[in-house]
Structure 1
Amino acid sequence: MTPEANEPKSRYLQYLEIVTGPLEDKRRYRQYKARIKQLPENYRTAADALERYLMLLGPADGAGAMAMYEDLAELFEQSVADGTPVRDIFGADPVEFVEAFVANYPVGQWRAKERNRFTSAIDRAAGEDPARREGTV
C-alpha cells in the first residue's frame, strides 16, 4: 500500500499520514521492535525499559526518535555480540547513561518549544529580558 520512493503518494495516503504520521516512521518502528524481540531476555527487558523511559521523557519526535531507537537496537545487538553484561552497558546510574545517550540527538520540536517557553517565562518573572539570554540583543 506504500508507494515506491519516486512515486507520488495517493490522496488517501496523504490524508492517512496527516492523521497517523509518516508511514515510513511506522515501518522503521516495526523493524526496530523486531530487532529488540530477537535479543536475549535480559537485554530485551533492559531495552524495553529504556524505550519506555525515552517514550515518556526522550527529547526527540518523529524521524529523530526513530534514529535514536535504531541506534539503541544497534547498541544492544553489539553488546550481545560482544558479551557485554547489561550492567556494563548502563553503568551504576542508568539515568546518567540515558541522559548521555539522548544528548546525542536533536531536541524534538514540541520539547524545544516548551523548554524555550518555560525559560522565557522564568526570565520574565525574574525581570530579565529573554532575548538577552539567547544573545539576540
Structure 2
Amino acid sequence: MRIQDIIEGKKEWRVHVARVKALPKDYQIVYKEIEKYLFKVGPVELTDGIDLLSGIVNFFEEGVALGKGVLEVTDSDVAAFCDDLIKDSKTYADIYQESVDQEVNKAMKKVKDKTK
C-alpha cells in the first residue's frame, strides 16, 4: 500500500466520522454499536469496509430526513439488522467456528484411532 493510499484513506475516514457526528444522538449511538459489531464479527471478504459503513450512514441520513427514529429504521434487534447486512459474507466468526470444528474432528479421530 502506498503512502498516498493511506493518506486518502484517512481523509475518507475523517469525512465519514464527520457525517456520523452530524446524525442525531440516537442514530450516533446505534451507529457506534453497529460499527463495533461489524468490527468484531468482521466480514472478511469486504475489501473496503468504509463502503459498508458509508452505506449505513446514507441509510441513516434518509431515515433522519423522513423524520424516523433510528429503531424505526433498523428495528429493535440491531444485531439482526447487522447480520442481515453481512448475511452473504464470510465472517471472522465463521473462520473461527471452522477452525474449532477442525480441531474437534482431529481430536475425535485420535480418540477413535486409540480405541481400535
Q: Does 1:107 align with 2:83?
A: no
Distance 2:21 2:59 in 1: 14
- The 5 A counterparts of 1:115-126 are 115-126=97-108
- The structure, 1 or 2, with the larger RCO (C-alpha pairs under 8 Å, 6+ apart) is 2
* TM-score, normalised relative to structure 2: 0.69
Report deviation, 1:46.
Answer: 1.6
* TM-score, normalised relative to structure 1: 0.61
Aligned residue type for 1:43: Y
Identify unmatched segments of 5+ residues in structure 1. 1-12, 128-137
Question: Following superposition, which runs of at least 4 residues in structure 1 exceed 6 angstroms of deviation?
Answer: none
Question: Aligned pairs, how many?
Answer: 108
- The 5 A counterparts of 1:43-82 are 43-60=27-44, 63-82=47-66
Percent identity over paired residues: 21
Cα pair distance change 1:91/1:83, threshold 3 Å:
same
Aligned residue type for 2:21: K
Aligned to 2:16: 32
- The 5 A counterparts of 1:1-12 are none
Which protein is richer in helix relative to its size? 2
